[in-house]
């Protein structure tokens, strides 16, 4: 499996996760399936949240269904932050893994006056993370991959 992710939306999510620190921040990834188990993430949307703590986040699932149906895109998976924790699937993440093809985990760690992030994407029951690249929408009229992250 491979992912191509909208670079602008990913940067926006990273900024939101850094501002939300020390609480978890949650987003949904919408896009299209391409050939050969490759997915293009066109949008990362942060839905309303019912509750967010240092250990978990509970999104408003009814609003997520509404957002997905209005988007015209496919639901690919979710992404959320782990404050002061590695970008790996926690027991809580695994327990509530539902219809996600892939889950992104953004580690946000505070270092003095700045925050450091590390991002990995996971498939259920996979030992290794999913490879991904970002793309800049509309660059030269094309949505093409731009760099590894």
CA distance 110 to 122: 23
59 found inside a domain: yes
Neighbours of 102 (CB within 10 A): 21
19 found inside a domain: yes
| Long-range contacts of 11-16, Cβ-Cβ distance < 8 Å, separation of 24 or more | 12/44, 13/44, 13/46, 13/79, 13/106, 14/106, 14/117, 14/119, 16/46
71 found inside a domain: yes
Residue 78 is encoded by which pair of tokens? 């979710």
Total domain count, the chain: 1
CA distance 113 to 126: 35
109 found inside a domain: yes
> Residue 127 sits in a domain of what CATH number?
3.40.140.10
55 found inside a domain: yes
Give pLDDT tens digits for 30-64: 999 998 889 999 999 999 988 888 788 888 989 99
Give pLDDT tens digits for 72-131: 999 999 999 998 888 999 888 888 887 788 999 999 988 776 677 899 999 998 899 999
Name the residue range of residue 26's domain: 2-134
Q: Which pLDDT value is given to residue 57?
A: 85
139 found inside a domain: no
Are the CB atoms for 103 and 88 separated by under 8 Å?
no
Q: What is the mean pLDDT of residues 6-28?
A: 93
145 found inside a domain: no
Are the CB atoms for 135 and 147 separated by under 8 Å?
no
140 found inside a domain: no
């Amino acid at each position: 499996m491979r992912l191509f992710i909208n670079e602008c939306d990913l940067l926006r999510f990273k900024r939101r996760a850094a501002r939300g620190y020390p609480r978890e921040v949650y987003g949904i990834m919408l896009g299209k399936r391409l050939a050969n188990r490759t997915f293009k993430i066109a949008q990362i949307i942060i839905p309303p949240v019912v509750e967010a703590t240092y250990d978990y986040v509970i999104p408003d699932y009814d609003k997520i269904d509404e957002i997905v149906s209005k988007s015209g895109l496919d639901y690919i998976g979710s992404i959320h932050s782990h404050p002061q924790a590695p970008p790996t699937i926690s027991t809580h993440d695994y327990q509530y893994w539902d219809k996600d093809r892939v889950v992104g985990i953004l580690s946000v760690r505070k270092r003095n006056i700045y925050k450091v992030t590390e991002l990995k994407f996971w498939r259920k029951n996979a030992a290794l993370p999913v490879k991904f690249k970002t793309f800049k929408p509309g660059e030269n009229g094309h949505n093409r991959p731009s760099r590894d992250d």
